[in-house]
């Protein structure tokens, strides 16, 4: 199994508070992704990274920021959480280096966030 | 942008029934195509993939054929088991940096 750890696994917070989710990998893969999973929407890409300090937006990036200061860690930050950000967040990594579209994504176990 | 459309769920079948879950994509060219499966309480894991037209991906008795002419990648299994109960996601990778997922189809198998 790919070594991907997400933390925290569960979090309940209040509207307006900042939240940071962490994804840690031990595989030294170049590409890392943050997705959110919501009923009826499947998985939607929030942000992704193609290297240290190299990140780009996905389809639902508003209200989220990311940082990648080391190969192994990819942080997702909600600067001011809203109820619409209640979701299950999945981190994924790709082993295919420069061509992740032909390769497999390995997923973490998910982080369930509830914003009250 | 590109999108992936798969049949709405939930799908409920009896054990040993034949399964088809439809999937179509909009990307032009020749994207890689994937089926991922998510078991309860877990993250997604790759079930099978195909990287060029007419390729057939297969794993655990599941199959899907890359049909460029109909932009489809339908998932099939000849005889489902209770252990196949899960959520199935179709996905395409046409961009060098993103994989786009469908909305998922929940499958329940009755003993």
pLDDT tens across B61-110, in order?
999 999 999 999 999 999 999 999 999 999 998 765 678 899 999 999 99
User: CB B103 to CB A40 under 8 A?
Assistant: yes
- HSE, side-chain direction, 13 A CA sphere, residue A100: 23
C-alpha angle with apex A45: A33 to B46, nearest 5 degrees?
A: 65
Which residues of chain A from 49 to 88 reach within 8 Å of chain B, CB to CB? 50, 56, 58-59
User: CB A101 to CB B46 under 8 A?
Assistant: no
Q: Does position A101 have pLDDT exceeding 70, yes or no?
A: no
User: CB B45 to CB A107 under 8 A?
Assistant: yes
A59 token code pair: 């389809």
C-alpha angle with apex A94: B72 to B56, nearest 5 degrees?
A: 30
């Amino acid at each position: 199994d790919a070594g991907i750890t997400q933390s925290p696994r569960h979090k309940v917070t209040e509207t307006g508070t900042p939240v940071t989710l962490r994804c840690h990998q031990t595989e030294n893969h170049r590409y890392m992704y943050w997705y959110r999973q919501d009923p009826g929407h499947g998985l939607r890409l929030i942000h992704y990274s193609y290297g240290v300090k190299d990140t780009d937006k996905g389809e639902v990036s508003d209200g989220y920021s990311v940082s990648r200061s080391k190969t192994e860690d990819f942080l997702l930050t909600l600067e001011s959480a809203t109820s619409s950000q209640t979701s299950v967040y999945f981190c994924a990594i790709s082993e295919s280096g420069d061509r992740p579209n032909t390769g497999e994504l390995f997923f973490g176990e998910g982080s369930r966030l509830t914003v009250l | 942008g590109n999108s992936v459309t798969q049949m709405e769920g939930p799908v409920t079948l009896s054990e040993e029934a034949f399964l088809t879950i439809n999937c179509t994509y909009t990307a032009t060219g020749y994207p890689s195509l994937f089926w991922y499966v998510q078991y309860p309480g877990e993250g997604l894991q790759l079930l099978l993939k195909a990287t060029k037209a007419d390729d057939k991906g297969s794993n655990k008795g599941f199959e899907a054929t890359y049909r460029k002419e109909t932009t489809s990648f339908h998932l099939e299994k000849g005889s489902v088991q209770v252990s196949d109960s899960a959520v199935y996601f179709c996905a395409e990778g046409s961009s060098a940096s993103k994989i786009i997922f469908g909305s998922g189809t929940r499958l329940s198998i009755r003993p």
